[in-house]
Structure 1
């Protein structure tokens, strides 16, 4: 059975899969990234994991994978196949595509940015399915974004397209590690809400999920913290939709797990701010933590279609998970 290898590399864990042509997850596996062992060990761990998946494909399906896709965090040069920089993994200028291709016997390898890859999956297979233009915004430790246009995700001229978390929404506000002040992710990420609620509640162990629960129970302190985050997020989103005019905005990550505790006030906050702009559908992501693997699989299949004429061109709208 024809299949591809998909790898989603995170700061603490790696998720992997063998993905069939119809998007079916034929095999799934997980293991720690092992960043405490250093960047060289992380790279070797990725290569070894991929090789194990290749061997499993041969045993289970009678042939090796036809291609591989890998999603990594940080700054990614997708055209050159280089993982340029990732602070949480400690690497710089790792030629990951070439290393993987060599370990996997020369098969085509696609390298992608983790958020853009997850956005690709949400756009084709998840909450953005059928939308010609979408914006995917996961709210986690930080905030990033993926700009989807006609079934593909835009990387930009230098690989920075979609970095909505570094739109300045509160000029002169909290300093951001990027060097600016008042960036969106300093006010509306899950980690920002956790910090604000821990301070407001006096509980150093409190986090964003605790804040959402307190909001649902009517705690006025929590409501204030939550609304400040929602207002900042709405300011950032309206700037993005003014520039990009997406048909659908997909919100994922930890904060999205709060459900309507987030989406009801957020939709209203965005509605109040728009003037001439067309309101997009604002919806929760649906693929959860499988999005990165599914997106890496899509990257591999897309690459294979350009290198192997025998591979059909499956319509993304017909792919099922």
Structure 2
């Protein structure tokens, strides 16, 4: 994309979404729109220091790209990272899949980017922020975002913000015990929700049941659709566990919207039809929230990182008015 006069001097922020294997980045405009996107491998096999260096280099390249495209530097940056994140102090405290501990990422990025304000966010909470503001939860004052992937995480949205909690653990619904005395979880408990209803748990159960080690949750969903009794049993087990966890959450949080994302949600109505029934069957006095699929896919983290960056700046400081 060349430089166009029409794009000269466009206020924008840098948005970075750091995953275990890949990094997604964007330059985001004042309405949250992604004006330029880029990707590259995280390179975790080179060790935590190299990963951090790669993030800083990528951010610096994005800054230079913004100057070239839009005639000015980014006014802020937002970055979403996995693991345990101290958002208040801007520290990436721990991520098993990246091997880092206590990385002062906000300070390092601010230094590298010439002192612009930098926001650091947890990947799932940041994706949840985007789903709540510009995705499936748009307009909901209270929502719960639950991505069903390798594990199960969650983001609690209240009035356009996502709750981090006192220690950064708010929303960790995957470690609510739904089957007391059940399967051991790496977290140290037994019977955690993510041992039964994550995409990884369904993949594992289906691979064992059908004897194909390569079979995954998507294959299980296809078999459910064709009426395979083994697949139906495994799928219903996951749906029941998920409904138990979600009803616990909605009893505590009373959200208006439940947004389900991640790999398992890609099964569409094969998941949502029985899940709505299972949640409905369990509620007594609780009000049923609307239960909807996530809308933003793998751009949620990037969009959310952009929103975090704009939030750092005074809202009156934007040149465009967000609708």
- TM-score relative to the length of structure 1: 0.97
CA distance in 2, matches of 1:312, 1:137: 34
CA distance in 2, matches of 1:26, 1:305: 21
- In the alignment, which of 247, 269, 279 is matched to residue 238 of structure 1? 247
Match of 1:270 in 2: 279
Match of 2:4 in 1: none
Match of 1:146 in 2: 155
Match of 1:36 in 2: 45
Question: SS in structure 2 opposite 1:213?
Answer: helix
Match of 2:31 in 1: 22
Superposed displacement of residue 310, structure 1: 3.0
| 1:311 is the counterpart of 2:307 | no
CA offsets 1:108-154 (integer angstroms, 9 cap, x no match): 00000000000000000000000000000000000000000010000
CA distance in 2, matches of 1:227, 1:50: 44
> Within 5 A, what are the aligned runs for 1:1-321?
1-305=10-314, 310-311=317-318, 314=321, 318=323
Question: SS in structure 2 opposite 1:282?
Answer: strand
- Does structure 2 retain, via aligned residues, the 8 Å contact 1:305–1:313? no
- Does structure 2 retain, via aligned residues, the 8 Å contact 1:305–1:312? no
C-alpha root-mean-square deviation of aligned residues, in Å? 1.0
CA distance in 1, matches of 2:319, 2:167: 31
Question: SS in structure 1 opposite 2:284?
Answer: coil
- TM-score relative to the length of structure 2: 0.96
CA offsets 1:167-211 (integer angstroms, 9 cap, x no match): 000001111111000000000000000000001111111000000
Q: 1:314 to 1:143 in 2, by over 3 A?
A: farther
- Does structure 2 retain, via aligned residues, the 8 Å contact 1:146–1:153? yes
Q: How many residues align?
A: 314
CA distance in 2, matches of 1:314, 1:210: 45
CA distance in 2, matches of 1:252, 1:237: 13
CA distance in 1, matches of 2:201, 2:317: 49
CA distance in 1, matches of 2:283, 2:97: 37
CA distance in 2, matches of 1:219, 1:134: 34
CA offsets 1:49-83 (integer angstroms, 9 cap, x no match): 00000000000000110000000000000000000
CA distance in 2, matches of 1:313, 1:229: 45
Question: SS in structure 1 opposite 2:17?
Answer: strand
CA distance in 2, matches of 1:41, 1:223: 45
Superposed displacement of residue 304, structure 1: 1.5
Question: SS in structure 1 opposite 2:313?
Answer: helix
Superposed displacement of residue 22, structure 1: 1.3
